[in-house]
Structure 1
Amino acid sequence: MLLFGAMDAAMKTVTIDMGVVAALFWRCMIGVVLALALFLAQRSPAIPRGAVLRLHLLRGTVVAAMAVLFFWGLARTPMAEAVAISFIAPIIALFLAAVVLKERIGSGAIMASVLGFAGVAVIASGRLGLLGGAAQAAGQDTGVAQWSGIAAITGSAVLYAWNLILQRQQAQLTSPQEIVLAQNLIIGFWMALAMPFVGTLPGEQLLSAPVGWGLLALSAVLSILSLLLLSWAYARAEAQALLPLEYSMFIWGALFGWLVFDETIGWTTLAGAGLIVTGCWLVARQPRP
């Protein structure tokens, strides 16, 4: 989750300057090079076929739409608020796991999710309290841009819930290296198709600067490391055991928002984080089958 927080901060910076489609395209191109090296380093790399290939295509397409919505919204929304909204995804996915993966939902997992959601509600209430007159006094955007950002992140959260279930299925069928390579290739393909509709190489002023390429490379490396670790974890644990741990992402989102974008952290953030950590602790101490 720490790696995802750092990646979000890097991608928010790049997306603000060059747009979400171009940022995702170039990040995936760098990611393909890195992921291909990892894939070929396996003892017996093989081209996926059949059900595995279909699952790669499905998840890659879902993640492409999810990423566009999330990073587009993130460029218009404070990081802490964006992460808080996205926390509806683990709750949706917890029950999707029961339907799709036939996993039994334990009482501890439900309690952890309730605590996590309560923590998010506390944090979001503090953030939403800045809207209206208070936000205007603080010089923050309260218009269509901010609300459209919230709507986009909400949509991405629904897709993220589906992605979490697909991730669990995918991790049981193939290697993390193959998953990472397939995802970068498929997302890059969809972004390449979309680029003509948003202009040719938007954000050239960023690409001409070393810091732009540095942020894209950093984002690609963090994305690959995060995906490798998640794929490894989902291949070894049930979705309901891992999903509540997603809530710790808020802590890192708030931290990077403060460090990089000077977004404030109030008492509601601390109170909500306490509930989130408690939920993570409850699910972590559950006996495993």
Structure 2
Amino acid sequence: MAQSLTSHRPGLAIALKLSSVLLFAVMSALIKASSDAVPPGEAVFFRSLFAIPVILIWIAARGELRSGLVTERPMMHFWRGVIGTSSMGLIFAGLGLLPLPEVTAIDYATPMLVLVLAAVMLGEKIRLIRISAVVIGMVGVLIMLWPRLGSTTADSAATLGAMLILGATALKALVQIHIRRMVETERTSAIVFYFSSTAALLALLTIPFGWVMPDALTATQLVMAGLVGGGAQILLTSSYRFAPASMLTPYEYSSMLFAILIGFLWFDEAPTLIMLAGAALVIAGNVLVAWREHQLGLTRAKVRAVSDPKG
């Protein structure tokens, strides 16, 4: 029954997907706007804590408030939280050092790294087409990173930011591999809820490293980041109930348009031609992977629906 509904509501799925991508871009902008005032660990706390009420309302609306939070493997949620929280912290730190479009572009490397980790950790076979896609994507990443790494005059803060985002991307790929195992026994609602809860608790461990009392504007931005991020996660999850992941994957790259627009209007940032060229190659590699997975029937909608996009 659910599968029939999925195949007949692609328009709704696309609308939900695009809305989630836009909200994630807004969330990143809110975190970036507050990055000069609060440390990354504090931003992770607000982002995670204020997403929880939104997630609980969503779970209750689905009638899963009692059954949806039952877990058979609590330690898997813990380790998913540790890895995901680390990735979120690195992304939030990088947002304060790099233009928003550049952060978005580097983050596109995640699916490439998922393929590599799946082959190494899960024994999945990747053949010529997907190997070629990984190579294309990695060349794109190197093109984007080269101005940060290949010049003696490169800004040290921006170089650090690029490394932080690249590290976050690797951890996000590891999270997706971990979730592939979790979905065998755990509900989507449990994975989403326990991640936000674990992330909020783990973020408290960073208090000794310099938390501050935010002013009214900064506090509002942080609270809104949590609410918007929680809403974006729900829209993303819901989109995969109405269409397969292979169909929705290309719409993920609308985030570059949103990032460029928000970056220009809010932060007076403009993407460079080198960054756009590298991003184009990474997107091409990802689209090739999506096409190949569609051909093979290897859609992973459930995994992507509960993954940790941009924190």
Q: For the Cα contact (< 8 Å) 1:171–1:231, is it kept in 2?
A: no
CA shift at 1:231, angstroms? 5.3
One of 22, 40, 60 as aligned partner of 2:81? 60
2-side partners of 1:111 and 1:252: how far apart? 28
Report the secondary structure of 2:98's partner residue: coil
| Alpha-carbon spacing, 1:221–1:104, altered in 2? closer, same or farther (3 Å) | farther
- The residue number in structure 2 matching 1:188 is 200
1:40 to 60, 83, 87: 60
Identical-residue share of aligned pairs (%): 28
In structure 1, give the amino acid aligned to 2:214. Answer: E
Q: How does 1:253-268 map to 2 (within 5 A)?
A: 253-268=259-274
Offset, 1:14: 1.8
Counterpart of 1:282 in structure 2 is 288
* Number of the residue aligned with 1:94: 115
Shift of 1:39: 2.3
TM-score norm. by structure 1 comes to: 0.76
One-letter amino acid of the structure 1 residue matched with residue 137 of structure 2: G
Secondary structure class of the residue paired with 1:18 = coil
More displaced 10-residue stretch of structure 1: 17-26 or 167-176: 167-176
> 1:91 aligns to what SS in structure 2?
helix
Aligned counterpart in structure 1 of residue 226 of structure 2, from 220, 226, 230: 220
Amino acid at match of 1:220: G
The change in CA–CA distance for 1:173 and 1:217 in structure 2 (over 3 A counts) is: farther
1:174 and 2:186 are equivalent in the alignment: yes
Between the aligned partners of 2:25 and 2:130, the Cα distance in structure 1 is: 24
How far did residue 75 of structure 1 move? 0.8
1:105 alignment counterpart? 126
CA 1:43–1:277: 2 relative to 1, 3 Å: same
Q: Match of 1:49, SS?
A: coil
3-state SS, counterpart of residue 50 of structure 2:
helix
1:204 lines up with 2:177 in the alignment: no
Distance 1:228 1:156, change over 3 A: same
Q: 1:218 to 1:167 in 2, by over 3 A?
A: farther
> Does structure 1 residue 24 correspond to structure 2 residue 44?
yes
- Alpha-carbon shift at residue 71 of structure 1 (Å): 0.9
Structure 2 unaligned runs (5+)?
A: 1-20, 298-311
Q: Write the distance in 1 (CA, Å) between the matches of 2:175 and 2:75.
A: 14
**What is the RMSD of the two structures over their aligned residues, measured on CA atoms?**
3.4
- Using the alignment, how far apart are the partners of 1:229 and 1:283 within structure 2? 24
Deviations 1:205-254 (CA, angstroms, capped at 9, x unpaired): 1xx23xx344334422342244345556889979x999998776555444
Deviation, 1:57, is 1.0
Q: Residue 37 of structure 2: SS of its match in structure 1?
A: helix
Q: Which residue of the partner structure matches residue 146 of structure 1? A: 158
Instruction: Give 5+ residue unaligned stretches, structure 1.
Output: 136-141
* TM alignment of 1:156-171, pairs within 5 A: 156-171=168-183
Deviation at 1:66, TM superposition (A): 1.4
Distance (Å, rounded) in 2 between the aligned partners of 1:245 and 1:112: 18
Per-residue CA deviations over 1:105-153 (Å, capped at 9, x if unaligned) read: 243333333322333333334x5399655x6xxxxxx24x334333333
Contact kept? 1:167, 1:234, Cα under 8 Å: no
Establish whether residue 75 from structure 1 lines up as the match of residue 108 from structure 2: no
TM-score normalised to structure 2 length? 0.72
Q: Distance in 2 between matches of 1:273 and 1:88?
A: 9
Q: CA deviation at 1:21?
A: 1.8
Partner Cα separation in structure 2 for residue 147 and residue 216 of structure 1: 26
* Alignment match of 2:71 (pick from 27, 34, 49): 49
Q: Secondary structure at the match of 1:48?
A: coil
8 Å Cα contact 2:83-2:171 kept in structure 1? yes
Please state whether the residue corresponding to 1:285 is helix, strand or coil.
helix
How many residue pairs match? The answer is: 272
Q: 2: CA distance between counterparts of 1:120 and 1:151?
A: 12
The CA deviation string for residues 25-84 of structure 1, in whole angstroms up to 9 with x for no partner, is 122221111112222333343343332x22111111111111112211221222333344
